[in-house]
Chains A and B, each alone.
Chain A
Amino acid sequence: MTSAARCLILACGNTLRSDDGIGPLLASWAEDRWRNDSRVRILCDHQWTPELAEEVAAAETVLFIDCSLEQGPGEILLRDLSPASLKPGLVTHHIGAAELLSLAQDLYGKRPRTAQLLTIGPDSIELGEGLSEPVKQALAVAQRMLITTVQCLLNQQPD
């Protein structure tokens, strides 16, 4: 059920698609890391769907985690995210992080005051379990970046 979180971590990916599993792996690690911290809520799905707009709208801050084909293998990128209108294409089963922010605003009249997107470049997203060597090597850096980012988001004061 939807509940307001100081920081919502929203990951996506498929552990049966090699490096596409980086999102779920980081989400699982984050579950353990913030298990006793009720300010942090972690959700993970194969894809981001329109239903998640309700969760996003309820959160004070949100950190999206995904793998990105636009980055080199193991390359990590953290960036601020702004709402975006829907790109042409299909919206039944998946929409992007920026579009989710926009949908949250349209449907619920609010969105997190800060939204960030952490992406990791894959070496392979073919069928298979386990991460490639470059992504495995990036995992520890991504985890440290996650800790720092979540801490910053939790320390933010409401407007």
Chain B
Amino acid sequence: MTQTITIDPVTRLEGHGKITIQLNAEGEVADAHFHVTQVRGFEKFSEGRPFYEMPALTARICGICPVSHLLASAKACEAIMSVRIPHTAAQLRRMLNLAQMVQSHALSFFHLSSPDLLLGMESDPAQRHIFGVAAARPDLGRAGIALRRFGQHIIELLGTKRIHTGWVIPGGVAEPLSAAKRDEMLAMMPEAYANIGLALAAYKQIADKFQQEISVFANFPTNYLGLVNEDDSIEFTDGALRLIDTKGNLIEDGITAQRFPEVIGEAVEPYSYTKFVYYKPLGYPEGSYRVGPLARLNIVKKMGTPKADQELAEFKQIAAGPVESSFFYHHARLVEVMYGIEKIEQILADPLILDKHVRATAGVNRLDGAGQIEAPRGTLNHHYRVDDNGKITWANLVVATGHNNNAMNRGVLQAAKCYVRDGKFTEGALNRVEAVIRTFDPCLSCSTHAYGQMPLQMTLLSADGEVVDRLVR
């Protein structure tokens, strides 16, 4: 008789999901799925709204990465307006995006994943949370909180609100930066450097203890996608997309937001509300790939800032080609935080950063427009069509969690095959299956465009589809 294990809800994620593991008659894992069980529908109910409302509207998709939607949406609107925003506005937006990346990565590493990394995958689940980290390593707990504050405070200084700022508008930003705010940001830099230094040192000390997890946490060849600059350095806000293959060879470069729909498709599977994104020329599922911190570090040749470049060089020594195990998303996230702090400091030194010209204005000049950026979790593309009056007639949002969906499902299967044996599993084993998903730091609210409360379940199904066991948190 075959069986199914269900983990429901999967915890320490942004949104609702569950995992089912199908066992065969011998009690071995036959298949596994990560289900995103919430549905929202932003694309549909934005129809009929004026296009210039879209940044504020779509930012409400998420409380963790609203800045990502703000920026991708504003860029799509600017494509409709056919305007190029002033240099200073572009720099200020870049800084906003990096500040969000720093606070989001700090949340992922310190709040969501450090309990597994510092306390152990098999540690008492009653203690495996931020309180346990606070007791075991208060210095790291404080560092996490301080890095979150760093990112959130820069967002607040720029946009007056930490969450759902309305400062980014089609054409630029609503207000220039003042000298007083710039100086306040610069004063935060020393503490931020100290905290990311502490986190990187702690990670490097403990990573070697997770060799088995490294070997089965979505450790397989895939393609990788992300934004890069023309000089092959990492980019989060502008640039164009690059896709590389399993060996690191270029598949396609220079994918702009407008070209994105030509080459990127979305498939649907019956067990999830999140779509499965793939590269059209290779078809589905062969054209699947990974995005986010691991992908970005795999596709770039340099970060473009001194300390982060040193960290990238060390990261690249993990493998001869692309780094494959998703466990290394954690490492990549910390390298990106270092980059974010350095880049913000560089942008603040731009002689034009206090310039007052921060907005371009125009009406509807095209009936179709798309914008793309790198959200903390990976590539985000907004694509809109409007009528002559600028009302949205169609919208499509392709989010990071959709790009990673195939790899997350394969990763769950790989880990389940390692940790579920003879139809038996321990709490620690199931935590590892969940931890595979956490490495991707998916945002399920974004991916289905949640209503209600967070959380993931794990179900064990028999070969004839009967529920044999279920873990519900």
B268 CB-CB contact with A under 8 Å: no
Residues of chain A within 8 A of B453, CB atoms compared = 90
CB distance from A59 to the nearest CB of B (A): 15
Are B107 and A92 closer than 8 Å at their CB atoms? yes
Instruction: Report the tally of A-B residue pairs with Cβ distances under 8 A.
Output: 55
Binds A, one of B127-135, B197-205, B408-416: B127-135
Binds A, one of B137-145, B248-256, B384-392, B428-436: B137-145
A158 CB-CB contact with B under 8 Å: no
Provide the bound-state CA to CA distance between A92 and B144, in Å. Answer: 13
Are B111 and A91 closer than 8 Å at their CB atoms? yes
Q: Given A90-B11, A93-B454, A108-B142, check contact A103 B149 (CB 8 Å).
A: no
Are A92 and B12 closer than 8 Å at their CB atoms? yes
Against A, the Cβ 8 Å flags (1 = close, 0 = not) of B93-120 are 0000000000000010001100000000
Provide the bound-state CA to CA distance between A102 and B138, in Å. Answer: 13
Q: Which residue of A lies closest to B188 (CB)?
A: A1
Against A, the Cβ 8 Å flags (1 = close, 0 = not) of B9-41 are 001101000000000000000000000000000
Provide the bound-state CA to CA distance between A93 and B134, in Å. Answer: 16
Q: Which residue of B lies closest to A105 (CB)?
A: B134
A60 CB-CB contact with B under 8 Å: no
B242 CB-CB contact with A under 8 Å: no
Residues of chain B within 8 A of A51, CB atoms compared = 145, 148-149, 152
CB distance from A34 to the nearest CB of B (A): 21
Q: Which residue of A lies closest to B140 (CB)?
A: A107
Residues of chain A within 8 A of B320, CB atoms compared = none
A50 CB-CB contact with B under 8 Å: yes
Residues 99-152 of A at the B interface (beta carbon under 8 Å): 99, 102-103, 106-109
Chain B: interface residue total (CB-CB under 8 A): 25
Chain A: interface residue total (CB-CB under 8 A): 21
CB distance from B61 to the nearest CB of A (A): 15
B296 CB-CB contact with A under 8 Å: no
Residues of chain B within 8 A of A109, CB atoms compared = 138
Are A106 and B131 closer than 8 Å at their CB atoms? yes
B304 CB-CB contact with A under 8 Å: no
CB distance from B45 to the nearest CB of A (A): 15
B455 CB-CB contact with A under 8 Å: yes
Are B138 and A107 closer than 8 Å at their CB atoms? yes
Q: Given A91-B131, A107-B142, A107-B145, check contact A50 B153 (CB 8 Å).
A: no
Residues of chain B within 8 A of A50, CB atoms compared = 111, 130, 145
Residues of chain A within 8 A of B138, CB atoms compared = 106-109
Residues of chain A within 8 A of B454, CB atoms compared = 90, 92-93
B206 CB-CB contact with A under 8 Å: no
Residues of chain B within 8 A of A2, CB atoms compared = 149
Residues 42-100 of A at the B interface (beta carbon under 8 Å): 46, 50-51, 53-54, 85-86, 88, 90-93, 99
Residues of chain B within 8 A of A54, CB atoms compared = 142, 145-146, 149
Residues of chain B within 8 A of A108, CB atoms compared = 138, 142
Provide the bound-state CA to CA distance between A50 and B138, in Å. Answer: 13
Are B126 and A90 closer than 8 Å at their CB atoms? no
Residues of chain A within 8 A of B112, CB atoms compared = 92
Are A103 and B130 closer than 8 Å at their CB atoms? yes
Residues 403-446 of B at the A interface (beta carbon under 8 Å): none
Residues of chain A within 8 A of B63, CB atoms compared = 46, 93
CB distance from A131 to the nearest CB of B (A): 23
Are A107 and B107 closer than 8 Å at their CB atoms? no
Are B149 and A106 closer than 8 Å at their CB atoms? no
Provide the bound-state CA to CA distance between A1 and B149, in Å. Answer: 8
Are B153 and A90 closer than 8 Å at their CB atoms? no
Against A, the Cβ 8 Å flags (1 = close, 0 = not) of B46-90 are 000000000000000001000000000000000000000000000
CB distance from B15 to the nearest CB of A (A): 10
Residues of chain B within 8 A of A102, CB atoms compared = 131
Provide the bound-state CA to CA distance between A149 and B146, in Å. Answer: 31
Are B148 and A86 closer than 8 Å at their CB atoms? no
Residues of chain B within 8 A of A86, CB atoms compared = 129, 131
Are A88 and B131 closer than 8 Å at their CB atoms? no
Q: Which residue of A lies closest to B153 (CB)?
A: A1
Provide the bound-state CA to CA distance between A108 and B135, in Å. Answer: 11
CB distance from B472 to the nearest CB of A (A): 12
Residues of chain A within 8 A of B11, CB atoms compared = 90
- Please list 10 pairs of residues, one from A and one from B, whose beta carbons are closer than 8 Å in the complex, sorted by A's number: A51-B152, A54-B145, A54-B149, A92-B14, A92-B107, A93-B63, A103-B130, A103-B134, A106-B131, A106-B138
Closest 7 CB pairs of A and B: A106-B134, A86-B131, A107-B141, A107-B134, A91-B129, A107-B138, A51-B145
Contacts A91-B130, A103-B131, A108-B142 aside, 18 further interface pairs with beta carbons under 8 A come to A1-B149, A2-B149, A46-B63, A51-B149, A53-B145, A54-B142, A54-B146, A85-B131, A90-B11, A90-B453, A92-B12, A92-B112, A93-B454, A103-B130, A106-B131, A106-B141, A107-B138, A109-B138
Chain B: residues with CB nearer than 8 A to chain A? 11-12, 14, 63, 107, 111-112, 126, 129-131, 134-135, 138, 141-142, 145-146, 148-149, 152-153, 453-455
Chain A: residues with CB nearer than 8 A to chain B? 1-2, 46, 50-51, 53-54, 85-86, 88, 90-93, 99, 102-103, 106-109
